[in-house]
Structure 1
């Protein structure tokens, strides 16, 4: 019979398929499809960026809805609905070429994705309570599931477009839908096995001390503005430099591998800090990674270093704010705190792609939009570093 610890880690693995679907396949993989859709449908950078903005609008709607419902219906039900709905939304993206119909399905995918991300994060935070290092690792592994989706899409989509051309973008969306469908059953089973956070009525839940969380909130907002630009336009930047499909596939796979490896690299940093340090470091690392290929254009080593650093860093930001909530707030407020951070995150993602796309259209190069995103990320690092612990006796390793 399987030990309790082994069962808990299997639950973490199953829950991590939620971010694999909501982030790795549904959201980030659009960066691989964007150049093909832009070329085949004659979109500007602003229009291409708009689809990720539409996804972020849905993410905001989903975050607000989840924040309102999580204490009433429970995170397990919200995660289950989101995981089941995402493949349907991806099929819709394959069917319609019209920008506004595409937007409808990207909004739907965003709504489902926010529900998955918030509810799964709140559930992962219940595992290994009283063991800060293992708890931090469980949370990190949950969010690191996004890397699985990135590896799967990175291994397939660049080769698809290299062989069949830009007109293959509907097939690409169908492949993502099929991969998402494969994750539905194991994710739902893990959700059934995982304990839920304590549910309380919204009106009697702990009030979030938002004013004392301003540095973390603003830092996370600027992180969202900047990081999504990198993932939206990285492949477009590589296309500007005539990068071959094999290198594109390798870079996207390295991003995904970095996401999976990140929990092991960052677990002690996250476990030992109850303030804004981990978020600040994640912003700084992703900002540097974003600026690296801009400062050294055409350099393959700079590009590879950029994707490795970015992959190892960007999913630590949601891990950091989830851990921050767990260490500084009552358990009854965890879901609401993660919901608030996700709403702020969604606002940043709404602005990032369309603003960077506009800058790229005005300057004639996507590099300028990505450069601006790198500076935004570094500013976010400076703000997040100002966040102090909220609890009188924060929960850190050795406390």
Structure 2
């Protein structure tokens, strides 16, 4: 019997306990690997630049390097999860996050900082895909969108923690990184202990071969293209928003507070799964893309106005986490026969965008300035809306399509 059936037949108190046991460690792991290890770099970048000697161009290249390492581990996690189960990649995610952030905290030059950021960035690649299989096994069908939206929005919760830590410690950016290390170790221990050693797949002999034709087909193509665009547009915010606000005249505390507001807004996005159940995946995704583009445009035009900046941060936090949650739910539909591998493909597409976004933006800032660069990112995010979940009529057409892939051999 599948775990979700057992959960459905359990008493209400047991259902709540099982649900929390699933989503709390998952959200915590995503918070430390994404919100701290991956996006803490953009938050603490201004102080690191002055002490370690990192130019805007170098900062963009370092960020792109972190996304490239994420891409590598995001591909490796497919094999690791299938062969060893979700517990191993979850433990590796926490370990890499702690190791990378420790390196950054002790960096004395750009090269050392770059190595630490790249190692920390690799952690996120191992963290998220295993939870696609865990949610599919542990959560009842009616709660899967909510479970997934809570786990995936852990990114914002990490940012919400990182912002106040950075504000409280001021220029002590090394101590901030070490604080993040402690949180990563704690979250990693809990998440690893509570993760199942193996995930059961019904009808394993019928699982698809992990081939190019299975990953990229008419069903998945819009999802993958939208992931590339969302990754490229959003990465500009995560890497350069604090720097842009500082350049516009806001204080370090104000800029970091805006970053924290962005993270707190993820709490709202945690309930995007319920919104999907009410208005549908297509409408939820379109609304999220529109809000994301509006947030980037607003911060571009109002970088010197704190009220507008905070509004933009709030919108971006809600929109980014909601659109990532929508893509996760969409991925579970497209790649239903092997959720973790499908989500890894989506994360890979997202990463291709995040690799190019910071590198191009770092160069564009020198010639176009922060305002035009952020506006360009807003356009990229808006274009993603054209690659949205299919309409009812389109779903009927796609239902007839069969991906050509051989069964997995035992």
- Normalising by the smaller structure, the TM-score range is 0.7 to 0.9
| Contact 1:21–1:86, Cα closer than 8 Å, also in 2 | yes
Residue aligning to 1:221 = 228
Residue aligning to 1:87 = 98
Deviation at 1:265, TM superposition (A): 4.5
Rounded Cα–Cα distance in structure 2 between residues aligned with 1:296 and 1:307: 11
| Contact 2:331–2:343, Cα closer than 8 Å, also in 1 | yes
Secondary structure of 1:211 counterpart: coil
Rounded Cα–Cα distance in structure 2 between residues aligned with 1:265 and 1:204: 32
Relative to structure 1, the CA distance from residue 79 to residue 367 in structure 2 (aligned partners, 3 Å threshold; closer, same or farther) is same
Q: Among residues 143, 148, 154, which one is paired with 1:139 in the alignment? A: 148
Query: Is 2:358 aligned against 1:353?
Result: yes
Deviation at 1:277, TM superposition (A): 4.3
Runs of 4+ in 1 over 4 A off after TM superposition: 199-207, 385-388
The Cα offsets for residues 75-123 of structure 1, whole Å up to 9 and x where unpaired, read as 2221122123311111011122332332222222222211111112332
The Cα offsets for residues 36-62 of structure 1, whole Å up to 9 and x where unpaired, read as 122223432111122211110111001
| Contact 1:220–1:279, Cα closer than 8 Å, also in 2 | no
Query: Is 2:198 aligned against 1:191?
Result: no
Q: After the TM superposition, which of the residue ranges 203-212 and 103-112 deviates more from structure 2?
A: 203-212
Rounded Cα–Cα distance in structure 2 between residues aligned with 1:374 and 1:152: 26
Deviation at 1:272, TM superposition (A): 5.6
Deviation at 1:270, TM superposition (A): 5.6
Deviation at 1:233, TM superposition (A): 1.0
Residue aligning to 2:185 = 181
Deviation at 1:328, TM superposition (A): 3.5
Question: Mind listing any 5+ residue stretches in structure 2 that lack a counterpart?
Answer: 1-10, 401-410
Deviation at 1:195, TM superposition (A): 7.1
Normalising by structure 2, report the TM-score: 0.85
Normalising by structure 1, report the TM-score: 0.87
Rounded Cα–Cα distance in structure 1 between residues aligned with 2:18 and 2:371: 46
Deviation at 1:169, TM superposition (A): 3.0
Q: Among residues 237, 241, 246, which one is paired with 1:234 in the alignment? A: 241
Residue aligning to 1:150 = 159
Residue aligning to 1:369 = 373
Rounded Cα–Cα distance in structure 1 between residues aligned with 2:240 and 2:135: 31
Residue aligning to 2:124 = 113
| Contact 1:159–1:249, Cα closer than 8 Å, also in 2 | no
Relative to structure 1, the CA distance from residue 230 to residue 66 in structure 2 (aligned partners, 3 Å threshold; closer, same or farther) is same
Rounded Cα–Cα distance in structure 1 between residues aligned with 2:343 and 2:78: 8
Secondary structure of 1:384 counterpart: coil
| Contact 1:220–1:384, Cα closer than 8 Å, also in 2 | no
| Contact 1:329–1:391, Cα closer than 8 Å, also in 2 | no
Secondary structure of 1:7 counterpart: helix
| Contact 2:104–2:177, Cα closer than 8 Å, also in 1 | yes
Secondary structure of 1:223 counterpart: helix
The Cα offsets for residues 154-188 of structure 1, whole Å up to 9 and x where unpaired, read as 11113323xxx3xx332232222122122122212
Question: Mind listing any 5+ residue stretches in structure 1 that lack a counterpart?
Answer: 393-399
Rounded Cα–Cα distance in structure 1 between residues aligned with 2:31 and 2:80: 23
Rounded Cα–Cα distance in structure 1 between residues aligned with 2:217 and 2:93: 31
| Contact 1:58–1:110, Cα closer than 8 Å, also in 2 | yes
Secondary structure of 2:141 counterpart: coil
